[in-house]
Amino acid sequence: MLSNAQTQPLFPNPAGQQNPAGQQNPTGQFLPFHARPTLQIKKNAITDDYKVTSQVLGLGINGKVLEIFQKKTGDKYALKMLQDCSKARREVELHWRASPCSNIVRIIDVFENLYQGRKCLLIVMEAFYLFTLEASDIMKSIGEAIQFLHAINIAHRDVKPENLLYSTKRPSALLKLTDFGFAKETTSHNSLATPCYTPYYVAPEVLGPEKYDKSCDMWSLGVIMYILLCGYPPFYSNHGLAISPGMKKRIRMGQYEFPNPEWSDVSEEAKQLIRTLLKTEPTQRMTITEFMNHPWINQSMEVPQTPLHTSRVLKEEKDTWEDVKEEMTSALATMRVDYEQIKIKTIDDSTNPLLTKRRKKASNAMADPKSAAH
């Protein structure tokens, strides 16, 4: 996918003047909320303005995403198709309101078309490449998107790597958050009740009967940071499922580890930051303001350039991750269980394939220290 972010302003300024060509809003900064124009849904056919291809770029919570091209300029965009309903309109409205943030994917146009007897909302968004940068910079960029959302009382509720996209292939590209299918406005403490989540990134309180708030996004930040620093998530299903009773129990208890060799060279500051994000009690969890002010994030401390095992682990376990993603896609987000009736397996008893593979590598390294040296 190719972004046109370098040739178009991210958002018009309050005076109506456009940013100079080639310039973007500084990372993490945004224009005043009131400057965002009212969302106008177009009634003409989208094919009047865009060439729609059959290339599927991805599947969001509420609809698929296609590659399209603007006819006048040839610029490439992403088109998300949603069946028109109150939930779809809420997703579009919240995403539109969040678009002033430079770290959130911008909505360009919204069309209302009739398809096979049903109205369909067609959302034209910037299209992006995905690639990897250093962990601290990535986490700061994600934090800037969450900071903007929480400031306008929106909980995203589905922060995960699949919803994080880079604007271009250039090193200076901006990381942007997308997919507002689970997003909801929250104006008071513990005002959310619906268990919307992707299993590996879900906060403990979302799994239980209690209400929750936007601090669930902070837990997801902790899971993403954990994965960035080692290549695998902190919580697993032991049965190859998207989520299992045992995995839910471990999430509820906050049971995870920092096993070697992947974590042997990761700083204690980074580990402690993860611990404060993965607090099972939401009131004890780090807020987005505290996160953005943390030395490891704002780099007021010297973040060491330590080589990580992440890329190697992800490549070696690519096939297993594909199985995990398939299971996660088919999982029901409304699953709830009686947690008091669940018996939890310890990490040592786990039969998860990723854990099994790492245990075997660790055993081989201990048996043959010379081959493990690097």
Catalytic status, residue 158:
yes
Distance, CA of 277 to CA of 295 (rounded, Å): 15
Are 327 and 241 a contacting pair, CB within 8 Å? Answer: yes
Q: Which of 75, 158, 213, 217 is catalytic?
A: 158
Would you call 292 exposed, middle or buried from its count of C-beta atoms within 10 A (0-12, 13-18, 19+)? middle
C-alpha triplet 345, 234, 349: angle, nearest 5°: 25
- 132-167 in b/e form (b: 16+ CB < 10 A) is eeebbebbbbbbbbbbbbbeeebbbbbbbbbbbbbb
Count Cβ atoms within 10 A of the Cβ of residue 316 and give its class: 0-12 exposed, 13-18 middle, 19 or more buried.
middle
DSSP states of 144-173 as a string?
A: HHHHHHHHTTEE-----GGGEEESSSSTTP
DSSP state of 190: T
CA–CA dist 144, 28 (Å, integer)? 5
Strand ranges of the sheet holding 50-59, from the earlier edge strand across to the other edge: 41-42, 107-115, 118-126, 76-83, 64-70, 50-59
Residues near 136 by beta carbon (within 8 Å), at least 6 away in sequence: 296, 297, 299, 303
Rounded Cα gap, residues 67 and 126, in angstroms? 10
Is 271 a known ligand-binding residue?
no
Greatest alpha-carbon pair distance for the chain in Å reads 69
Rg (Cα) of the chain, in Å, rounded? Answer: 21
Q: Is the peptide bond before 204 cis (omega within 30 degrees of 0)?
A: no
Catalytic positions, please?
158
Output the known binding site.
Answer: 80
Residues of each annotated binding site for ATP: 80
